[in-house]
Amino acid sequence: MLRQYELVELVKSYDPYADEDALNRAYVFALKKHGSQLRTSGDPYYSHPIEVAGILTKYKLDSASIIAALLHDTVEDTDTTLEEIREMFGDQVAQLVDGLTKLAMIEQKTGSSKQAENFRKLLLAMSEDIRVLLIKLADRLHNMRTLHFCPPDKRARIARETLDIYAPLAERIGMDEVKEEMDEIAFAELYKEAHDSIVARLNFLREQGSDVVPKIIKQLEKDMEENGIHCTITGREKSPYSIWRKMQLRNASFEQLSDIMAFRICVDTVADCYQALGIIHSKYHMVPRRFKDYISTPKPNGYQSLHTGVIGPLDVRIEVQIRTYEMHEVNEKGVAAHWAYKQGQRTEGKNFRWIRELLEILDQAQNPDEFLENTKLEMYNDQVFCFTPKGDLIGLPIGSTPVDFAYAIHSNVGDTCVGARINGEIKPLRTILQNGDQIEVLTSKNQHPSLEWERFVVTGKAKAAIRRYVRINKREQFISLGKEIVEKIFKSEDQEFSEKDLVGVLSNFEAETVDDIYAKVGEGLVTGWDVLRVVHPGYRQSKLEKVVSAIKLPIKKNNRKKDSLKIRGLIDGMAVHFAGCCHPLPGDRIVGIVTTGKGVTVHTINCPSLKNYESEPERWLDIDWGINADEEKHVARLKLMLSNEPGALANVATIAAKAEANILNLNITYRTPSYFEILLDIEINNVDHLNNLIMALRSEKLISYVARATQ
C-alpha cells in the first residue's frame, strides 16, 4: 500500500501544480473515515481507495481524480455526506464522488436488471465527466486483483461482468493495459482449463526459444539502422485471453495462429512509420490479409499504428506494429492521456462519438436489459472502415450493412433509408460491407424502419432504433383504436365525453396520460365500458350492455404465454391487423395489404375492399396461415335475423356456448314488431368451427336467417 508521502510525490512528479495540501487531507480523511473496516481479504479497507488512487497516478491523472479516488467509497460506506466532501474538497471532487456513489448504490441491488441498471448509470455519469469512468475502471481493476478472496459464486459474477462490460469499456477509451489485465484475471476465473492450457503452451514455447525474441529484435534494429531509421523496438507475447479469443473467432488451433509474438517499432515521425513499413515489406514476405493501417484510419478510441504480419527473421511468423512515440503514449493511456498535465497545461478528454451513440441507445431502449443487450453489441472491436461520399470515415463492427452505416451517420438517416449505392452501384440493404467501401445512403421521407431490418443489422444503435420505432408505432395504433372505442361507447349510451374527464381518472387506470388509457383500451387491457363507468359513476347499465354481459361467456385464463400468431410470408414480429371488413379466419384464403402506419392488414381473398387496391399491386403480399394458426381464437362476424320473442337471444347464447364459441359484441342493426336483425362478433378457432356454429344456429326455430357477414 502506498504511503501518504509516496502518493503525493507520485502526483507531484508529473504535476508540479498539484494541490499537495488537498491530497494530504484526502489521504488522512479516507484513513479516518474507513477506520477499522476490513476487506474480504482481511486487509484494512482504506488500502483499497489508496491503491485505486495509485493506479490512476500511473496514467498521470489530475489531482481532482486522485482525490475522488481516495474518497470514492466514503459517502457509501461511512457517515460522510456529499456536502461535507464539497465543503472540504470543492464542487469538482464532490461531483466525481457523487457519480461513483450512485454507481455503488446500484451495484448493491439484486435482481436480473441490476447489471443493466448499473451500466446505464455508469454511462450517464461518464457522459458528464469521463473521469468517472477512469476512476471506476481503476476501482474495478483493483477489485479484480483481489478477486481470489471472494466466494466462488461472487467471483464468477464479477469476472463475467468485467469481461462483458468493463474490459470492453477500457478498450474503447484506449486503456489497453487495464483491459488486458482485467481480461487475464477474468479469463483465468471463468475458463480455467483453457487458460492453463494456453499458459502451458506459451511456457513451452518460451523455453524452446528463449533466445528467439532477442535475436529477432536485434535483426530488426539492424534493418532499421542500415536505412537510417532511429527507433526503439520491443517484443512481447500476446496475452492468453487474446490468443484464446482469436482461436474462437477463427476456429483455429493454437499452432495455426501466426501472431502470438508481436514486435513494436516506435519512431519519431509519421513519415518514419511508412518508411519502416517499406523496409519490413521489402525484406520479409508479407502474410496476406494481415496488413492494417490505423494511422490513416484510426480506431474510434484514437488508436493509431501500422500492423503487418510477415515471415520475419529466423523464418518466424510475427506481427509488427509501427507507430510514433506520441501515438504510443496515446495508445497505452487512451483517454487518460488527455487528462495528463503537460508543461502545466491540462487538456480535457475527447467527446468520443461512441459515447454519444450509447446515449442514443439509452434514449431508444424500452428497458435497462434491452439497453445492455444493444450496448454490448456496440462496444466490441470496430473492424470495418467505410467512407461517406464526402470522404468521412465511419468505423463499424464486422458484418455491418448499409442500414448500420446509415444509423451510424444519424438516426434520421437510418429511419428513412431505402437503399444504398456502394462504390457507385445500387446494392440491397442487407449487403455486408467491406473495408474501404464508399457508401451513399438513399433516403425517402415516406420510408420507416422495417422489423425485417433487425434480422441483419449488427450494431446496437440500429437494433435499438428499429425496436423503438416498432414499439411506438404499435402504441400509436392502440391509442387510435382505443380512442375510437371509447368515443363510440359514450355516444351510443348518450353520455357526455370529454378528455378533461379522463384526466381526472388517470389514477383509476394506473395511467400517466389520457393516451395511456386509450392504449390500454386498444390493447384490450381495459374495456370502453370500464372507462364509461369510471367517468360517469351514476351511469346505469343500458339494455344493450345487459344483453352483452348476459351472453358473454367467461374466457378461461391460461398463465402460459401464448406463442405469437404465425402467418407464412411475413417477417416474425411484423405488425399484423385483421381486416374488420371481412374478418379472415384460418381456413380462408388470405392476402396481405401493406398499410401505411399499420404494418400489414390481412383480408380474405374475396373481400370486396380489395377493389380499392387493384391499382397498387406493390402493396399486395402473398401470405397464408401458419400450421398453428387455429390454436388461437379469431373474431368472426355473423348476421342473424331473430323472431322478436322472449328467449330468442338466450337461445343464441346457449347455442354459442355449446359450440365453445365466445360472444364478444352484439349490435342490433334493425328492429320491427315481429323480428330484429343483429350483427354478432364471436371468437372462433377457424372456418370449420364457424360453419359448425352456423349449422347449429340455423336449426333453431326462432332464428330465420344466419350468414357470415362481409362488412
d(CA 592, CA 570): 9
pLDDT score, position 560: 35
Boundary-marking domain end, from 630, 650, 685: 630
> Is 439 among the domain residues?
no
- CB of 307 within 8 A of CB of 278? no
> Is 510 among the domain residues?
no
pTM score > 0.75 for this model? no
- CB of 567 within 8 A of CB of 627? no
Q: Do 180 and 50 share a structural domain?
A: yes
d(CA 693, CA 208): 84
Q: Do 269 and 201 share a structural domain?
A: yes
Boundary-marking domain end, from 603, 630, 657: 630
Q: Do 268 and 158 share a structural domain?
A: no
> Is 278 among the domain residues?
yes
The number of beta carbons lying within 10 Å of the beta carbon of residue 394 is 21
* Nine cell digits for residue 312: 520475419
> Is 555 among the domain residues?
no
d(CA 518, CA 477): 10
Full residue range of the structural domain in which residue 160 is found: 4-190
What CATH number did the domain enclosing 98 receive?
A: 1.10.3210.10
Q: Do 702 and 578 share a structural domain?
A: no
Tell which residue, 450, 441, 436, has the closest CA to residue 396.
436
In which residue are the cell numbers 328467449 written?
647
Cα torsion 596, 597, 603, 609: sign: negative
* Nine cell digits for residue 608: 370486396
d(CA 378, CA 372): 10
Annotation says 76 is catalytic: yes
What CATH number did the domain enclosing 668 receive?
A: 3.30.70.260
The number of beta carbons lying within 10 Å of the beta carbon of residue 224 is 21
> Is 533 among the domain residues?
no
Report helix angle 63-71 to 20-34, nearest 10.
10
Q: Do 287 and 142 share a structural domain?
A: no
Annotation says 21 is catalytic: no
Q: Do 250 and 329 share a structural domain?
A: yes
Q: Do 54 and 177 share a structural domain?
A: yes
> Is 419 among the domain residues?
no
Helix or strand holding residue 320 (H, E): strand 317-324
pLDDT score, position 540: 64
**Average pLDDT per run of 10 along the chain, which is 711 residues long?**
91 88 94 90 91 91 92 90 93 88 54 55 66 88 93 88 82 81 93 89 76 89 94 87 78 67 92 96 88 83 87 88 90 61 40 53 51 47 74 80 91 88 86 86 84 82 81 78 82 82 85 86 78 80 48 39 56 72 89 74 88 75 79 88 87 89 88 85 90 84 83 61
Please report, as a single letter, which amino acid is at residue 655: I
β-bridge mates for residue 665, sequence order:
681
What CATH number did the domain enclosing 318 receive?
A: 3.30.460.10
Boundary-marking domain end, from 152, 175, 190: 190
| Catalytic-labelled residue, pool 20, 43, 76, 329 | 76
Q: Do 155 and 77 share a structural domain?
A: yes
> Is 523 among the domain residues?
no
Q: Do 320 and 212 share a structural domain?
A: yes
Q: Do 221 and 101 share a structural domain?
A: no
Q: Do 331 and 274 share a structural domain?
A: yes
Q: Do 25 and 75 share a structural domain?
A: yes
pLDDT score, position 559: 39
> Is 495 among the domain residues?
no
pLDDT score, position 257: 67
| Catalytic-labelled residue, pool 9, 15, 21, 77 | 77
The total of structural domains in the chain comes to: 4
